[in-house]
Amino acid sequence: MKITLALMLCLLMVNAAHARKIQEEKRVLIDQVLELTGAQQITKLLSQTLTKEIIGKMHEKYGQVDRAVVAIVFAEAERIMYEDFILNNKLNDILYDLYDESFSLKQMQEITEFYSSPTGIKMIAAMPSISQRSMEAARQHAGTLSEKIYQRINERLESAREAIERAEAEEEAAPETKTGEK
């Protein structure tokens, strides 16, 4: 996939974007950038993400999910994403707004020139691998932190337990006040 994680996150965070009037020249440049970067493939990525969430919820509710059901969920999610994002142009509405808001006409020209250059083409080709490898490296490193997290949680819980015990001991040691005394 020729799309960065940042673009995916931007798309997920946008709720109800509507394509506003943009200069035709800018719209053409945005189309070129989307084509060069393969941004339309975001629907497949979103479809996979949604499918995994749906299957996860089904698994929590019903236990093991049959492979045939998983295949149906994948197919329907992909079909609905295609219908809504591609056929109904929702993806372009979102992307046009984001690019129009973020970049001037001159910047879009420069971006298009860059992505059309040998370096830009190489970057587009390398980004999926870089993104995947960086995510995997970050996930592996995060896995090494679980022991540290567990240790700190235990320290905090132990400290809280000791504070409660001290407060209870102080309460027991304090002379009881007689009712009616102030």
Instruction: List, for residues 93-150, the tens digit of each pLDDT value.
Output: 888 899 999 999 999 999 999 999 999 999 989 988 888 898 888 888 887 888 888 8
Among residues 47, 125, 112, 29, which one has the least CA distance to residue 86? 47
Q: Dig out the tokens for 160 from the structure.
A: 């809280």
* Residues 6+ away with beta carbon under 8 Å from 1: 38, 41, 44, 45, 128
Is the pTM for the entire model greater than 0.75? no
**pLDDT of the residue at 169:** 92
**pLDDT of the residue at 49:** 83
Among residues 79, 74, 31, 82, which one has the least CA distance to residue 50? 74
d(CA 127, CA 115): 12
Instruction: List, for residues 26-69, the tens digit of each pLDDT value.
Output: 989 988 888 888 876 777 778 788 888 888 999 899 999 899 98
